[in-house]
Structure 1
Amino acid sequence: MSEIATLTRPATSRTEHVDVLIVGAGISGIGGAYHLTHQRPGTSYVVLESQDSFGGTWWTHKYPGIRSDSDLYTFGYRFKPWTGTPIATAEEIRKYMGEVIEENGLAPHIRYHHRIDHAAWSSKDNLWTIDATRTDTGEAVRFTTNFLWMCQGYYRHAEGYTPDWPGMERFKGRIVHPQSWPEDLDYTGKKVIVIGSGATAATVVPAMAPTAGHVTMLQRSPTYFRTGRNAIEIADELRALKIDESWIHEIVRRKILHDQAVFTRRTFDEPEVVRQELLNNVRSYLGPDYDVATHFTPGYRPWRQRLAFIPDGDLFQGIASGKASVVTDEIEHFDEAGIQLKSGKHLAADIIVTATGFHLNVLGDIAFEIDGKPLDFHETVTYRGMMFTGMPNMVWVFGYFRASWTLRADLVGDFVCRLLGHMESRGAKRVEVALRPEDKDMPLLPWIDPENFNPGYLMRGMHLLPKRGDKPEWQHNQDYWSEKDAFPAIDLDDAAFVYR
């Protein structure tokens, strides 16, 4: 982000001005549009989306079995009850989002096929100028806005991350990344290798296993998983009692959040006990003779990386049935017929799926400049993981690793609406965060402590992310249970906020 490429653009046909411009029509962007509509009536806004429909992840990812890996009572919005099973398919999530759009009249504000290329802030005009390209027509369009709300997520939708293994070009079959799943891929009766051990691999393997000849999950190291019924007992009981769905949503949401908080604390306070509980759960599906120590026992403390939920243990059921298996090893090289492992073992394959993660996306891969100077995002310091020093009139939604993303999207939505109202009451056209005198000697640290959370995509992209301080207000603490009280209590007249 330290350099901005020179852009050769066709003539812009028009410029449109709005009070707020939202980037992205995924779960965060649609939520932001809802909050603006209801909390700031009369505020003009648009949502720019590069894809041809809403949904973000749930639109771009089309691999077999795609589903949420957190429950929809908390991944869903707080303002719209979820009535389906807690772990939902992409289709079900998009239907839910579509209802939010329709019920709240958001559709006229969303502009699809709009890829943002450049964003420039002018202190002279107190405006952002956004240059975009219509991906369906090639037309250059320009917007100006008082406030920029970044809801584009945190990974690059265009392509996933695949390591460059030796010999990949020799393989005679197909190599597929889940993020770019081809519609014509027929895996019926085929030998499939799925490389990876995270939530995506744990979704793809049981989805492909019934049809494929055999599916092998090849992992370098194991991952922790939680399992359970794809149902919430208290929700079913309350529905049987004919309780209003809005009450059920709030009660179940609070119960899940409480249970998650207790579990997270236990992973820090008694990690070995939690570790054994998780492993015993795996053994309950795979039996006492299965090598759980090798294939499902990670070398890190539970919750240091994302802990995915496996509904009804379908991954383990697929392994127990013999339709799927797990190999824990490292790749030596690819060859014409499959993968040669460092142990000397060879895995034959017709299809190889690289469920190996994604590229971190920093501010939507948009070229930013502030008063004519290219932005080096890494040199900024974050205020609570959503505002950044030297970046006026801008908020970014970056969710939680150990709780549902949407929980923070709702909190940030409230904050943005309150901040806009506060600026209005002060007659301020501009707000940015700045280190206070008492913060000048504060140690500046990486975006997140790798001892706390260290997935590969984050470690690969840490050099792109802003710095954090060692004070609560100058970091994204990843703790919903403290932020749900801290966010409403943020003092907008604190010296950290500079208005002009």
Structure 2
Amino acid sequence: MAAEKSLSEYDVVLVGAGISGINFAYRLQERNPELSYCILEGRHEIGGTWSLFKYPGIRSDSDLYTFGFPWRPWEEQSSIAEGARIINYMKESAAMYGIDKKIQYHHHVNNANYSTSSKRWTLDVTANGSEQKTFRSRFLFMCTGYYNYDEPLMAVIPGIEDFQGTVAHPQTWDETMDYTDKNVVIVGSGATAITLLPNLAPKASHVTILQRSPSYVMSQPKEDKLEILIRRLTWWSKPLEHRLIRWKWLLVPFLLTRFAYTFPNAARKMFSKAIQAQLPPTIPRDPHFNPSYNPFEQRVCFCPDGDFYECLRSGKGSVQTGVIEKVTPNGIKLTSGDELHPDIIITATGLKIRFAGGMKLTVDDKPYNVPEKFIWKGVMLEDLPNAAFVFGYVDASWTLGADATAQLMCRMLKQMRKEGVVEVVPRRTEAEKQSMTEEPLLRLTSTYVRKAKDLLPKAGSTGQWKARSYYYKDIWMAWFGDIHTGVEWVRGT
């Protein structure tokens, strides 16, 4: 006879103990203290991305003053930080507010079913690899990020299986791998490749980035002159210092991205000039640093204190632009006829996108098909009751979008209690269904994003169904915006 499953009940279940889950938990405690909650985390510790990736140099690709929690300022005098420091910061933040006591580790959510009769979510969970548990809650908030933790995106590279050297992927990095005095080729041109090159080069014989197409790589000082000035002027008040530096990091990137979207040609020239000034004479900007797209149409890569370009200037690193014809047992042959002869190939080819950590969603035991649905305010899914999905920004710190989501949902929870509402369900009108055109949820044109189009919900062209735009607008909407239009509010009986 099978053992009876254990049953746990909460008002809210958060799935994921990364930056989004920790932040959402804080907002619940701050604004809805009457609600009980837990966090279900499939891994062994807090951290999400920063716990998963172990490759050399893993670091933030946006500033920590806005990537950090708004309720616990990042206090180090460096805008970019390594993964280990980010995890420590997250653990300290969670412990400071008792959030760590609410986390259940090694709990993987397999299925989540919403019952319209009981107004409850039922989650089937595997704990510690084999134990089956059941959780019930009124609300389900998915703080799972947007990519597959279990499986990296493997690009099709002809002949890679024949290579007699070592093949590594950043997502499954072997920390015991010895690359001392080895010739390393990194296949890819994104943030991971830009991070790996200067961090592998000191020990390796030589490191080459092999890219099919180039990216924008911009230098970012760990501490700029304006931050130094702010610290000097506010020596008497740490809270004011933190507030001003955070405002600076909210404003400057916002102005830069708006400039790039509004004046793409001018932005392209500005970026190109900055890149050219840092390249050694031996590496021409065209074709190696002359992208076919405009800034922020794909992610712009940032390197702290120009370490990427410093590595190129030292001669320990180089860039090769071309298409792989075939990987041979002892090298890489390009369609141009050039050949590379690495000891190690690192495939930094992007992330495999996965929605909601791979959990299966059902409503009244009927499958819920995420790609067919539109997303309300970039937060709630059409026809999915009492649920939200936390999604950040692609051109600003992830935490900004995550916090806008958390504050919006906490406001809705408070309003539901005030009005005696037990269920909220985003619904498009018949007119909207007839007239609304589909828009991408992510504005990036990156290959891994295009491949995932059929896995993610859709954004709409009008009203509450438009894709997110920028933090200032979204946080204003979270505080004061319309939370009734496009949503069915069901009162209790």
TM norm. shorter chain > 0.5: yes
**2:474 pairs with one of 483, 487, 492:** 483
When residues 441 and 350 of structure 1 are mapped into structure 2, their CA distance, relative to the original with a 3 A threshold, is same
Question: In 2, Cα distance between the equivalents of 1:287 and 1:214?
Answer: 16
Partner in structure 2 of residue 121 of structure 1:
114
In 2: Cα distance, 1:194 partner to 1:323 partner: 13
Deviations 1:135-192 (CA, angstroms, capped at 9, x unpaired): 35x1111100000011000001112111122211111111111011012111000011
1:459 to 447, 450, 462: 450
**Distance in 2 separating the partners of 1:220 and 1:10:** 54
Q: What is the RMSD computed on CA atoms of the aligned residues?
A: 1.7
Asked whether 1:68 is paired with 2:60, we answer yes
Kindly indicate whether residue 37 of structure 2 is the aligned counterpart of residue 39 of structure 1: no
Q: Distance in 2 between matches of 1:67 and 1:370?
A: 39
SS at match of 2:444: coil
Deviations 1:440-471 (A, max 9, x none): 4332304337xx43111211011111122211
The reply on whether 1:425 has 2:418 as its aligned counterpart is yes
1:283 Cα shift? 2.1
TM-score, structure 2 length as denominator? Answer: 0.96
Q: Which of 286, 291, 300 does residue 298 from structure 1 map onto?
A: 291
Structure 2 Cα separation of the partners of residues 60 and 463 of structure 1: 25
Q: How many residues align?
A: 489
- The answer to whether the Cα contact below 8 Å between 2:464 and 2:485 also exists between their aligned partners in 1 is no
Higher mean alpha-carbon deviation, 11-20 vs 393-402, is at 11-20
Matching of residues 348-387 of structure 1 within 5 Å: 348-387=341-380
Alignment of structure 1 residues 205-284 onto 2, 5 Å: 205-240=197-232, 241-284=234-277
Q: Does 1:161 align with 2:153?
A: yes
CA contact (8 A) 1:446 1:462 kept: no
Q: Secondary structure at the match of 1:285?
A: coil
What does residue 499 of structure 1 align with? 490
For 1:275, give the aligned amino acid.
R
Quick check: 1:23 aligned with 2:12?
Answer: no
1:72-151 superposed matches below 5 A: 72-84=64-76, 85-136=78-129, 138-151=130-143
State the shift of 1:69 in Å.
0.8
Describe the SS at the equivalent of 1:79: coil
Matched, 1:329 2:305: no
Q: Is the 8 A contact 1:444 1:467 kept in 2?
A: no
Q: CA deviation at 1:285?
A: 1.9
3-state DSSP of counterpart to 1:359: coil
- Partners of 1:442 and 1:489 lie apart in 2 by 27
Query: 1:198–1:223: 8 Å Cα contact kept in structure 2?
Result: yes
Q: Which amino acid aligns with 1:98?
A: K
Contact 2:376 2:486 in 1 (8 A): no
2:435 partner SS = coil
Contact kept, 8 Å, 1:12 with 1:139, in 2: the verdict is no
Q: Is residue 436 of structure 2 the alignment partner of residue 443 of structure 1? A: yes
Give 1:327 deviation, angstroms: 0.3
- Between 1:284-293 and 1:12-21, the stretch displaced more is 284-293
Which structure 2 residue ranges, 5 or more long, are not aligned? none
Using structure 1 for the length normalisation, give the TM-score: 0.94
Query: Separation in 2 of the partners of 1:453 and 1:396?
Result: 19
Identify if the C-alpha distance between structure 1 residues 483 and 472 changes in structure 2 by more than 3 Å, giving closer, same or farther: farther
Counterpart position of 1:6: none
Q: In 2, are the aligned partners of 1:152 and 1:363 still within 8 Å (CA)?
A: yes
The answer on 1:469 being equivalent to 2:460 is yes
d(CA) in 2 for partners of 1:315, 1:463: 35
Distance, in Å, in 2 between the alignment partners of 1:79 and 1:385 is: 23
Tell me if structure 1 keeps the 8 A contact 2:386–2:423: yes
Give the aligned residue type for 1:457.
Answer: Y
Conserved 8 A contact 2:324-2:335: yes
- Read off the aligned partner of 1:237 and give its amino acid letter: L
1:349 Cα deviation after fit: 1.1
Q: Identity of paired residues, percent?
A: 37
Q: Distance in 1 between matches of 2:269 and 2:128?
A: 51
The DSSP-based 3-state class of the residue aligned with 1:441 is: helix
Counterpart CA distance in 2 for 1:307 and 1:10 is 53
- Give secondary structure in 1 for the equivalent of 2:261: helix
Decide whether the 8 Å contact of 1:156 with 1:360 is kept in 2: yes
Task: Please tell me the residue identity of whatever aligns with 1:305.
Answer: Q
**One-letter amino acid of the structure 2 residue matched with residue 34 of structure 1:** Y
Match status 1:58 vs 2:33: no
Shift of 1:266: 1.7
1:490 Cα deviation after fit: 2.3
Secondary structure in 2 matching 1:488: helix
Paired residue secondary structure (1:157): coil
Describe the superposition over 1:244-286 as per-residue Cα deviations: whole angstroms up to 9, x where unpaired. Answer: 3332222112122221122112212322222222222222222
What is the rounded CA distance, in whole Å, between the counterparts of 2:201 and 2:213 in structure 1?
21
Greater shift in the superposed pair: 267-276 or 302-311: 267-276
Query: Is 2:390 the counterpart of 1:409?
Result: no
Q: Which amino acid aligns with 2:482?
A: D
Equivalent residue of 2:320, what SS?
strand
Q: Taking structure 1 as reference, are residues 498 and 87 closer, same or farther at Cα in structure 2, changes over 3 Å only?
A: same
Over residues 27-85 of structure 1, what are the superposed CA-to-partner deviations in whole Å (9 max), with x where a residue is unaligned?
A: 00000111111111131101000110000000000000000010011111111111121
Cα 1:269/1:225, change in 2 over 3 Å: same
| Aligned partner of 1:285 among 259, 278, 284 | 278
Task: Give 1:179's aligned residue.
Answer: 171
CA contact (8 A) 1:261 1:481 kept: no
